[in-house]
Amino acid sequence: MTAPPAATPAAPALVLDGVAKSFGPVVALRSGSLTLRPGSIHALIGENGAGKSTLVKIIAGLYQRDAGTFEYLGEPVDFGTTAESKGAGIAVIYQEPTLFPDLSVTENVFMGRQPTLSLGRIDKRAMRAEVVALFEQLGVHVDPDRPTRGLSIADQQLVEIAKAMSLDAKVLVMDEPTAALSGVEVERLFGVARALRDEGRALLFISHRFDEVFDLCDTVTVMRDGEYISTSAIADTTVDRLVREMVGRDVTDLFPKTVAPVGDVLLEVEGLTRTGVFHDVSFEVRAGEIVALAGLVGAGRSEIARAAFGVDPYDAGTVTVAGRRLAGGDPAAAMRQGLALIPEDRRRQGAVLDSGIARNVTLTIRDRLTRAGVLTSAAENASAREWAARFEVRAPSLDTLAGTLSGGNQQKVVIAKWLATEPRVLIVDEPTRGIDVGTKSEVHRLLSDLAGQGLAILMISSELPEVLGMADRVLVVHEGRITANLTREEATPEAVMYAATHDVEVAR
């Protein structure tokens, strides 16, 4: 890396001040301010919809600001395109993966800037070798030659990270890079981030997880409602203070868990096997229970859930809901029997991005809202309004397109959509991924309330505090097998982590 001419070590790499951005009537950013310095990892935090990703997209040249100033390496800049910001040395990992599904992993890493040999031929060997080296450093086990279609979100995110690292950037922006990663992968990413910091690069890190912010970052900026609130040294602040600044009030109880009376078995999974993915998975969930499926990313938890719901096939075993065996491979039939699955990849599997909030929330209950063959928008709106209010979905109206909502608000819409089906058994995959601290507590309260009303809930979560805080029982999955079945009392962090990393025989 050559030293930037205008910047001395103490000089900021990037300064945004009073930056504003509107989309028609929607003010996404009122006044965003941020100063990034070389050799620093700077956290940007704020509630869902606070304007963090909008600020990132302005830095990236994806959006152009309406007002405010933007200086990079001491010079005022206006990036008209993402290629310009990239060319200037700014690498961005977006909140949603942006890979091309049909191109190979290697081609995605080098998208738009392939190294060439003489005569303009693309140097495929050099590309592949660099990807292999980056993956080695990141501890990624992905075939560089396969297409990115079908990769788990965690693997897609790791490919995005490799892509950003391969740019040799002066500024690296990471918008919720850890949301889809497990503990081990997060640790690896943090190792890489620290190494980049020590080389004198400036890093921006967006996360809703305070433990990560305090572990990794040295400085933190808080945003609220599109505005800059504060910047502090991590050493001089506390979680409570940051939460107050983000939310404007105290959030006292993140895990409002109540223990409900336990009733009949509502979900029974017996000997479920999908060759090469998961094996002989058996468990029960009773009315009133929240059972967590814990384990590392890639252990097969989402795959088990998807097979049980019927979106993926399985080779052996049975799934029984409220005493009736499901045919398998038929999610519509599973829904009629009272099973709902809130998927982990809510952007691609969950929300219809070019439909409004009301349409999305009522998508699964159209039959019920239809009177004499007519679905009125009044009925749609009434139902959607109730759910949107319950989840504090932040949007100008119920017609707002789901695709324009902030990441967290999209998730709330998807959760509402599935709860509107009034299921008896709810499988929820990473219920609070990407959801801010205030809403997280609301989602937890809602899950607890639903269990209290007699629902059986199977919760997949990679966040250990969430597993320990919310579950009545914890099933741990390791390499496609259940390796522990722990009561709330037995489920210590050590016990869960041990079972998540070892093949232990489990008695049911």
* Distance of closest approach, residue 301 Cβ to ligand ATP, in angstroms: 24
Q: Please state the φ and ψ torsions of residue 285, each to the nearest 5 degrees.
A: -130, 130
Nearer of residues 26 and 133 to ligand ATP, judged by Cβ:
26
By rule CB under 5 A, what count of residues binds Mg ion?
A: 4
Nearer of residues 246 and 419 to ligand ATP, judged by Cβ:
246
Nearer of residues 356 and 408 to ligand ATP, judged by Cβ:
408
Question: Helices 437-452 & 239-247, crossing angle to 10 degrees?
Answer: 90
* Distance of closest approach, residue 53 Cβ to ligand ATP, in angstroms: 3
Query: DSSP per residue over 127-153, as a string?
Result: HHHHHHHHHHHHT----TTSBSTT--H
Among Mg ion, ligand ATP, none, the one that 364 touches (CB under a kind-dependent 5 to 8 A) is none
Strands 171-175, 90-93: pairing kind: parallel
Q: Count each helix (H run) and each strand (E run) in the chain, helices first.
A: 17, 20
Residue with structure tokens 């759910």? 387
Site mask for Mg ion (CB under 5 A), range 94-133, x = bound: -x--------------------------------------
Find, among 426, 461, 456, the residue nearest to 261 by Cα: 456
Structure tokens belonging to residue 203: 């890093």
Among Mg ion, ligand ATP, none, the one that 33 touches (CB under a kind-dependent 5 to 8 A) is none
Site for Mg ion in 43-62 (CB under 5 A): 52-53
Structure tokens belonging to residue 131: 């990807």
User: In this structure, which amino acid lies at residue 503?
Assistant: D
Question: Helices 153-165 & 124-138, crossing angle to 10 degrees?
Answer: 110
Nearer of residues 273 and 404 to ligand ATP, judged by Cβ:
404
Structure tokens belonging to residue 366: 């159209």
Nearer of residues 44 and 172 to ligand ATP, judged by Cβ:
44
Nearer of residues 407 and 431 to Mg ion, judged by Cβ:
407
Distances (CA, A) of 487 to 48, 356, 447: 33, 42, 18
Find, among 506, 468, 505, the residue nearest to 489 by Cα: 468
Contact residues toward ligand ATP (CB under 6 A) are: 23, 26, 28, 46, 48-54, 95, 394, 404-409, 436
* Distance of closest approach, residue 357 Cβ to ligand ATP, in angstroms: 10
Nearer of residues 333 and 446 to ligand ATP, judged by Cβ:
446
Site for Mg ion in 379-408 (CB under 5 A): 407
Helices (H), 209-273: 210-216, 239-247
Structure tokens belonging to residue 233: 């040294």
Q: Does 411 bind Mg ion (CB under 5 A)?
A: no
Nearer of residues 317 and 343 to ligand ATP, judged by Cβ:
343
User: In this structure, which amino acid lies at residue 330?
Assistant: D
Among ligand ATP, Mg ion, none, the one that 394 touches (CB under a kind-dependent 5 to 8 A) is ligand ATP
Distances (CA, A) of 495 to 285, 346, 486: 21, 30, 8
Among ligand ATP, Mg ion, none, the one that 347 touches (CB under a kind-dependent 5 to 8 A) is none
* Distance of closest approach, residue 48 Cβ to Mg ion, in angstroms: 7
N-term to C-term CA, the chain? 57
Among Mg ion, ligand ATP, none, the one that 50 touches (CB under a kind-dependent 5 to 8 A) is ligand ATP
Nearer of residues 71 and 227 to Mg ion, judged by Cβ:
227
Find, among 347, 55, 82, the residue nearest to 175 by Cα: 55
* Distance of closest approach, residue 290 Cβ to ligand ATP, in angstroms: 25
Q: By the 8 A CB rule, do 319 and 269 touch?
A: yes
Nearer of residues 20 and 281 to Mg ion, judged by Cβ:
20
* Distance of closest approach, residue 99 Cβ to ligand ATP, in angstroms: 19
Q: Please state the φ and ψ torsions of residue 84, each to the nearest 5 degrees.
A: -65, -45
Among ligand ATP, Mg ion, none, the one that 350 touches (CB under a kind-dependent 5 to 8 A) is none
* Distance of closest approach, residue 374 Cβ to Mg ion, in angstroms: 38
Among ligand ATP, Mg ion, none, the one that 295 touches (CB under a kind-dependent 5 to 8 A) is none
Q: Which residues bind Mg ion (CB under 5 A)?
A: 52-53, 95, 407
